[in-house]
Chains A and B, each alone.
Chain A
Amino acid sequence: MSAAGGGPRLVVRDLRAAVAGREVLAGIDLEVGAGEIHALMGPNGSGKSTLSNVLMGKPGYEVLGGSVTLDGVDLLALPTWQRARHGLFLASQYPVEVPGVGLDQTLGAALSGLGRPALAPGDLTAEAARVGLGVALLERAVNVDLSGGERKRSETLQLAVLRPSVAVLDELDSGLDVDGLRAVARRVRQAVDEWGLSVLAITHYRRLLTELPPDAIHVLVGGRIVRSGGPELSEELERTGYGPDTPVPLSETG
């Protein structure tokens, strides 16, 4: 499942977007190759979640310019459901409750839409076990009455079942305890190994990056990527914060 021609799989060029008339993304450039893990860090309000929502096509976000391609396909021209079918996955920061619609039912409909066979019950429970999600929750309505941590485990389970080519993880670590973080990070790492998943992980914390070592780290400030570097960048950010305009130490943001 490598990208066509071996080039970068997800390519974001000069992406600008607005929410409620206010420009939040002021020209994002980003390339994520097949099987790569990229981390996106930055202070609150820098546009991290906006980027994830614009990539997925959430209503209410207005693209002002630029392009996004996944394996050469123009994502911005597609509705959300087709972006997902082209291999994009978003693990939402705040997964929404869908009353009366079971998680197993949702995954069944999603797999059917992808033209893939339904999962055998045993496979689903095995995947649930890998992320530490109680089997009883599989038949329950999506995210309803689930704790923050359970929701993140559920998001990870969905990722594992749907096998996207690119996963955007919007603060997958929030709401999870140490064991939960370890379990979901391990599952994502395994996905990278198993089918060459590309990952864009949005986070405030090094903790996730310890469990999910990135190939590259990008710092988003004011709607632009102001720095990019290797894994060593996270240590520096820990010491210095995001820069002179944002003196809050990384460990205190959140």
Chain B
Amino acid sequence: MPAESEEIWRYSGIDDFELARFAPVGTGGAPATRSGSLLDALASARATADRIGPRSLLVVTLDGSVVAIEAGAGAVEGLSVSVASPTLAGAPDQAATSPGSLLDAGEWVEEALGSVAGVDDAFGALHDTFLADVVALHLVSGADVADPVVVAHLVDPAPVGGLGPSAFPRTVVRLGAGARGTVVELTVSWPGDGMSAGEGSAPGALVVPVTELDVADGAYLAYANVQVLDLASTQIALQASRVARDGELRSFAVVAGGRYARLRTDAAAVGTGAHSALLAAFLGVEDQVLDFRTRQEHIAAHTTSELLFKGAVADTARSVYSGLIQIRPGARKTSAVQTNHNLVLSEGARADSVPNLDIEENDVRCSHASTVGPVDEEQRYYLESRGIEPPVAERLVVAGFFADLAARCPVPGVGRWLQEIAGERLTASRLVGSGADRG
């Protein structure tokens, strides 16, 4: 296990993490549910995915095993999906294929698996050991799939032998040259009622997802990830991407759930002219710890990356942002921006922001900026001067803080969802309140 004394785990609270509190969920063979029926699970996944709007495809996993693949209303020409179970078979399943089928034989998956996200820590090794199914999505060269492909990961929080269940979802997305598409991943507790704390003394689930995004020459991928696990869960997620020549990735993460939720974002620009936009929003309440580690790695010349992570913490919640811009030798004329803004909405809450630069090339433009603080007093005063009472003014400013980011979401449905999540949490008034009786 890693230790908090390691820089990349600083502030994480990892020293309190006990792997022995969790148990793998038995997989292999036919998908089975431990709570409720499979039909209920599918209905729940559909309802959750519906929040995003029309989709071209829905893939549903339960505790990391694929339980359903169903086509949506949109066109899917040039899109294929395969399900591989590498630890069970040692090689990808030979998924049944037929002409016109969405399912492909998945021969490419074995080669692709791990090619973007290398295993370099204990959780990566744990993931590779226990992962059940790989959801592999392939957009062939030149394909253009307008509606999002949605991958919904359901995690059943019911204990396994008194221990917390664990799930290891794996998603591999590969875009061929010039392909255009949108992929949305959702991680949600099921059964459950949104982001409640779950059963009082339940150990909570451990979720260790790995997502690999491989964007070929001239391809464009819009990717969004929404994590709304219950507040007893632990998530340790890795999202790794590689963008080739003149390719573009626009990614957007929403992190709202989990008692401890870590998202590591590794973005590599490997081809000349590659561009990555990496956006994330997070909202922490109660005793949540939300932990973000980002790396913008520029390997090729004339590459650009733009990172913007914005979040708010209330109650006794904490957030950690630690980001690294890494410019490799030869990555001349690159431009990298790293921005992290944190709203700290109560005295017991805390946000730490640690930017880092590692530049091994001269002719580059890099910048980083971060802010940590309460709601902007000038903004709140301006609204109050219009007769808006302080709690409402504060809610508007905080909602605006997220609306501003949501407007830049590459998947409009996810942007709207973010605003709904922010609105729900603001209405529950846990995010604000300190300003309620302020003069």
Q: 19 other contacts beyond A59-B381, A106-B386, with CB at 8 A cut-off?
A: A58-B381, A80-B381, A80-B384, A80-B385, A81-B384, A81-B389, A98-B379, A100-B400, A100-B401, A100-B403, A100-B407, A101-B379, A101-B397, A106-B388, A109-B383, A109-B392, A109-B396, A113-B388, A114-B387
Find residues 147-179 in chain A having any chain B CB closer than 8 Å to their own CB: 158, 162
Contact B396 A81 (CB under 8 A): no
Contact B386 A98 (CB under 8 A): no
Find residues 84-105 in chain A having any chain B CB closer than 8 Å to their own CB: 84-85, 89-90, 92, 95-101, 105
- Which A residues are in CB contact (< 8 Å) with B401? 99-100
Confirm or deny: B190 has a beta carbon within 8 angstroms of a beta carbon on chain A.
Answer: no
Confirm or deny: B363 has a beta carbon within 8 angstroms of a beta carbon on chain A.
Answer: no
Confirm or deny: B309 has a beta carbon within 8 angstroms of a beta carbon on chain A.
Answer: no
Confirm or deny: A243 has a beta carbon within 8 angstroms of a beta carbon on chain B.
Answer: no
Contact B377 A59 (CB under 8 A): yes
Given A79-B390, A81-B389, A81-B393, A141 and B400 touching (CB < 8 A)?
A: yes
Tell me how far the C-beta of A83 lies from the nearest C-beta in chain B, rounded to whole angstroms: 8
- Which B residues are in CB contact (< 8 Å) with A185? none
C-alpha gap A110/B396 in the complex (Å): 11
Confirm or deny: A41 has a beta carbon within 8 angstroms of a beta carbon on chain B.
Answer: no
Confirm or deny: B439 has a beta carbon within 8 angstroms of a beta carbon on chain A.
Answer: yes
Confirm or deny: A28 has a beta carbon within 8 angstroms of a beta carbon on chain B.
Answer: no
Confirm or deny: B404 has a beta carbon within 8 angstroms of a beta carbon on chain A.
Answer: yes
Confirm or deny: A142 has a beta carbon within 8 angstroms of a beta carbon on chain B.
Answer: yes
Confirm or deny: B382 has a beta carbon within 8 angstroms of a beta carbon on chain A.
Answer: yes
Confirm or deny: B399 has a beta carbon within 8 angstroms of a beta carbon on chain A.
Answer: yes
C-alpha gap A59/B390 in the complex (Å): 13
Size category of the A interface is 20 to 34
Contact A56 B385 (CB under 8 A): yes
- CB-based A-B contact count at 8 angstroms: 86
C-alpha gap A99/B407 in the complex (Å): 11
22 A-B residue pairings within 8 Å (CB atoms): A56-B385, A58-B385, A59-B381, A79-B390, A79-B438, A80-B384, A81-B389, A84-B385, A90-B385, A92-B385, A98-B379, A98-B396, A99-B379, A100-B401, A100-B402, A100-B405, A101-B383, A109-B386, A109-B392, A110-B387, A113-B387, A162-B386
Query: Per-residue CB proximity of B392-416 to A under 8 Å, as 1/0?
Result: 1100110111111101000000000
Interface residue ranges, B against A (CB under 8 Å): 377-379, 381-390, 392-393, 396-397, 399-405, 407, 438-439
C-alpha gap A99/B397 in the complex (Å): 8
Q: Closest B-chain residue to A158, C-beta based?
A: B386
Contact B392 A98 (CB under 8 A): no
Q: Name A101's contact: one of B381, B384, B389, B403 (CB within 8 Å).
A: B403
Contact B382 A81 (CB under 8 A): no
Q: Closest B-chain residue to A90, C-beta based?
A: B385
- Which B residues are in CB contact (< 8 Å) with A92? 382, 385
Tell me how far the C-beta of A89 lies from the nearest C-beta in chain B, rounded to whole angstroms: 8
Contact B379 A96 (CB under 8 A): yes
Contact B400 A81 (CB under 8 A): no
Contact A162 B387 (CB under 8 A): yes
Tell me how far the C-beta of B10 lies from the nearest C-beta in chain A, rounded to whole angstroms: 30
C-alpha gap A105/B404 in the complex (Å): 14
C-alpha gap A58/B384 in the complex (Å): 10
Those 8 A-B pairs whose CB atoms lie nearest each other, nearest first: A100-B400, A84-B387, A100-B404, A100-B403, A101-B400, A110-B386, A99-B404, A81-B384
- Which B residues are in CB contact (< 8 Å) with A97? 379
C-alpha gap A158/B382 in the complex (Å): 12
C-alpha gap A80/B380 in the complex (Å): 11
C-alpha gap A101/B386 in the complex (Å): 13
C-alpha gap A107/B392 in the complex (Å): 13
C-alpha gap A107/B387 in the complex (Å): 10
- Which B residues are in CB contact (< 8 Å) with A110? 386-388
- Which B residues are in CB contact (< 8 Å) with A81? 384-385, 387-390, 393
Contact B378 A96 (CB under 8 A): yes
Given A98-B382, A98-B383, A101-B383, A141 and B389 touching (CB < 8 A)?
A: no
